[in-house]
Amino acid sequence: MNTDTNKNLPEKIPQHVAIIMDGNGRWARARGLPRLAGHRAGTENLREILEASAEFGIKYLTIYAFSTENWDRPEAEVTGLMRLFTTMFKRELKNLHENGVQLRHIGKLDRIDTALQQQVNEAVELTKNNDRLILNVAFNYGGRDEIVHAVREIIRDKKKPEEINIELISKYLYTADSPDPDLIIRTSGELRSSNFLIWQGAYAEWYFPSAYWPDFGKEELRKALFDYSERDRRFGRVFTGDA
């Protein structure tokens, strides 16, 4: 670990950072390249951000890799993205495992190609005891879909109305084992939540850099952490001493 670099960090580091990796398509178009070249560049950048997150002391990183709505993209792009995920898993898993990253999946695997489903499950199993960084991969994930899924499971488990509260619902979400995100970053200047962690992000701080995802590197992440450290998180309360 590079301690020189770590000196240049704010004291307050968010425990859980979540990222909407937006702007791959525009990054590619700006260079006259096909959209998939943007996704490939985005994948390379993910590696940089993963390493930086571990180095900066972030414990949980959640990334929006593929939404329940992304199926509506042109077939060639969906197929290309699935191939990219497959390659990424094959190429990076060993390295992630050796670096203490625990992979978790949030979302539904049912529409995914069975070979890729198996890869995801094996990766989760292989890395389940790692604890340097927890990487939640939101893959075929949608926040509304997650809540529907939770409600169905709660009914299946025959919970009584009096038993239903915020903690119980949180336990039925795909993110049951992760704390709520402290900081959510959406790159590329878009100002929407796009169905990402809509329950868990209720009190998250948001950060909207203009950089497209492939250009949001380690130094951009550092800037986001400094910005976060300046925020006053009140969770709906006022500070004591305020009139």
Contact between 61 and ligand FPP per CB under 6 A = no
Contact between 68 and ligand FPP per CB under 6 A = no
Q: Measured at CB, which residue is nearest to ligand FPP?
A: 25
CA 171/CA 88 separation, integer angstroms: 30
Q: Which of 2, 6, 22, 99 is catalytic?
A: 22
Give the sheet arrangement for strand 16-20, strand by strand. Answer: 101-106, 133-141, 60-67, 16-20, 183-186, 205-207
Encoded tokens for 209 = 């850099």
Q: Is 2 a catalytic residue?
A: no
> 186 near 211, Cβ under 8 Å?
no
Contact between 39 and ligand FPP per CB under 6 A = yes
Q: Is 70 a catalytic residue?
A: yes
SS (H, E, C) 64-116: EEEECCHHHCCHHHHHHHHHHHHHHHHHHHHHHHHCCEEEEEECCCCCCCHHH
Q: How is residue 213 annotated by DSSP? A: G
- Residue whose C-alpha is closest to residue 215's, from 23, 5, 18: 23
Contact between 43 and ligand FPP per CB under 6 A = yes
In this chain, which stretch among 40-48, 53-61, 172-180, 218-226 interacts with ligand FPP, using CB under 6 A? Answer: 40-48
Which member of 10, 55, 70, 113 binds ligand FPP (CB under 6 A)? Answer: 70
Q: Tell me how far, at minimum, the Cβ of 190 lies from ligand FPP, in Å.
A: 7
Residue 137 or 225: which CB sits closer to ligand FPP?
Answer: 137
Which member of 137, 183, 184, 204 binds ligand FPP (CB under 6 A)? Answer: 137
- Using CB under 6 A, list all residues that contact ligand FPP: 21-26, 39, 42-43, 46, 65, 70, 84-85, 88, 137, 213
Which active-site residues does the annotation give?
22, 70
